[in-house]
Amino acid sequence: MPRTFFAAPAVLCLATTLGACAALPQPESSSEAPSSITAAVTESAPDTATAPVIAPASATSAVVATASADVAVIRPAAAAPPVSTPGQPRITVVLPTEPGAIKAAVQASVTRASKPAAVTAAATAQPVAPRALAPVKSRESGKGRTVAKAASPLASPDLWVRMRGRMALADIEHPRITEQLETLKRQPGYLNLFTQRARPYLHYIVENIDRRGLPMDLALLPMVESAFDPTALSPKDAAGLWQIIPSTGQEWGLLLAEGYDGRLDIHTSTGVALRYLRYLNQQFNGDWLLALAAYNAGPRAVQDAIKARTAEAAPVIAYPGLDTQPLVREVLATVDPADTTPVSQSLFWSLKLPKETQDYVPRIVALAHVVANPGAYGLKLPVIDNQPYLYRVDLTADQKVIDSITAAGIPLEDFSRFNPGFKQGVEPPARAYNLLLPREQAQTLVASAPGAQLVAPSRYTVRKGETLAAIARRHGVPSGQLAQWNGLNDRVALKAGQQLIVYPSS
């Protein structure tokens, strides 16, 4: 049943537009056209079917409107849709009720006029090739914007400030995000718990995200997934900080064996989770909301929901010459052609997904809002130093892990706290392992275990005349990646004495 549309100005605009349409010449077709135009004005929910498509006499002069719960689009039609049968409404208009949606519909006719094909508002997300991250040029309201180049990781002593320079989700707005933000505002102690539990691991995760050029919002997933508990186990057999299930872990290269579970290994599970998230983002056409939903519910569940949503999408509505009418031309004249702000929303908000997933994604986005600007919500984040807490030590395959730890005098309780993937009392399979320890214990282990190597980011001081490419070659990393780590343009000359951060090549 159609719901009442309360936006009085929009209804007035619509009535005037339809009045203008009544003066248009009737289109000719093989079917007998009605002698009058009947307008049915409804607001359609995402899954509500609307009246059949009305065909124009000429595709070249038609204006096509597509509509969904999130956006309406007006554009020229490339081909005439099927002719309606007599007795059906001559024009059906579906209006969204969100503020600014009418302007968005008109804006779309300008910004998207170069796309002639008449399509429905909901499109199935298709896999795309990997794309390099680029600076933000405009805000994207639904998918998560592309991450811009940030300042050098060494620029701020506060880890939160460092994260704010590379966030992609903090601009997204939706009522379900607002609900999560209100919950956070009512529970300020949650953020203190968040900070306390994240403190030992967050810097290490941020460094790994920086190395890969991914958005910093992803560092917030472990808070929602496991509350930053590296030993967390779920009833669905998901484990670790990133709550990886066995099949996904093994598919992406994690070792699950007697004596060792790679899902609980902070280093290896972080690498797999970030690679998997990048893959999901590419699979869903750069839409981070869909990628996060797929991480929680599984990619097949999201793909099935998109197919179902596409099948139920609002049909195309067309009438010839609509864009030639005085009122429509007047409204179009108020649109700034230079304003290229996208009006599309992520499909996530209109998908039928499990309740857990519907809450999961907005919760992460709400945390991104708070991290980006806690003062805007009357909240305060305790400072986390932008300094490593954990250091990586690589052991060779011929070194026994527990024997090496014992010989270094490191208590097994301390070792297990940051390396829960190793089961006490069970020797893991013989292979090379990456261990994480606080600085002093890491240095002690390296000093006592022959062949052990301390692997950590280093600071490099630029000498006179050195180039970014030469420094990158010396450290075995791509020059573009070195530039990205330090928020630099790889064609800008370096200054003597300038500090650079260099991550290990692997």
Place of tokens 């609307």: 50
Q: What is the pLDDT of residue 150?
A: 52
228-245: average pLDDT: 96
pTM (2 decimals)?
0.65
More confident residue, 320 or 437: 437
Asked whether residue 171 carries a pLDDT value surpassing 60, the answer given is: yes
Asked whether residue 74 carries a pLDDT value surpassing 80, the answer given is: no
Q: What is the pLDDT of residue 128?
A: 32
Asked whether residue 110 carries a pLDDT value surpassing 70, the answer given is: no
Q: What is the pLDDT of residue 502?
A: 81
More confident residue, 126 or 422: 422
Residue 500 pLDDT class (50, 70, 90 cuts)? confident
488-503: average pLDDT: 82
Q: What is the pLDDT of residue 255?
A: 95
Residue 494 pLDDT class (50, 70, 90 cuts)? confident
Asked whether residue 123 carries a pLDDT value surpassing 50, the answer given is: no
Lowest mean pLDDT of 48-57, 66-75, 283-292, 461-470, name the range: 48-57
DSSP 416-447: HHH-TTBPTTSPPPSS-EEEEE-HHHHHHHHH
Q: What is the pLDDT of residue 177?
A: 97
Residue 228 pLDDT class (50, 70, 90 cuts)? very high
Give how far Cα 221 sits from Cα of 77, 162, 237, 266, Å: 43, 17, 18, 14
Q: What is the pLDDT of residue 38?
A: 32
Lowest mean pLDDT of 79-83, 114-118, 243-247, 302-306, name the range: 114-118
Residue 353 pLDDT class (50, 70, 90 cuts)? very high
Q: What is the pLDDT of residues 309-318, one digit of tens each?
A: 988 865 544 4
**Alpha carbon distance 149, 141 (integer Å):** 20
Asked whether residue 4 carries a pLDDT value surpassing 90, the answer given is: no
Give the highest mean pLDDT range of 73-87, 131-145, 273-287, 338-352: 273-287
Say how many residues make up the chain.
Answer: 506
| 214 neighbors 248 (Cβ within 8 angstroms) | no
Asked whether residue 5 carries a pLDDT value surpassing 80, the answer given is: no
Q: What is the pLDDT of residue 249?
A: 96
Q: What 8-state DSSP symbol labels residue 393?
A: E
| 104 neighbors 111 (Cβ within 8 angstroms) | no
CA geometry: angle 308, 313, 316, nearest 5 deg: 150
316-334: average pLDDT: 54
- Reply yes or no on whether 98 is catalytic: no
More confident residue, 204 or 35: 204
Paired with 436 in beta bridges are 392
In the predicted model, what is the mean pLDDT of the chain? 74
**Alpha carbon distance 220, 230 (integer Å):** 14
Q: What is the pLDDT of residue 93?
A: 41
Asked whether residue 334 carries a pLDDT value surpassing 50, the answer given is: yes
Q: What is the pLDDT of residue 355?
A: 96
Please write down the HEC assignment for all residues of 163-224. Answer: HHCCCCCCCCCCHHHHHHHHHHHHCHHHHHHHHHHHHHHHHHHHHHHHHHCCCHHHHHHHHH
Q: What is the pLDDT of residue 275?
A: 97
Q: What is the pLDDT of residue 303?
A: 96
Catalytic residue among 225, 251, 330, 413: 225
Residue 491 pLDDT class (50, 70, 90 cuts)? confident
21-29: average pLDDT: 44
Please write down the HEC assignment for all residues of 102-120. Answer: HHHHHHHHHHCCCCCCCCC
**Alpha carbon distance 480, 212 (integer Å):** 12
More confident residue, 363 or 118: 363
| 160 neighbors 381 (Cβ within 8 angstroms) | yes
More confident residue, 10 or 162: 162
Pairing mode, if any, of strands 260-261 and 256-257? Answer: antiparallel
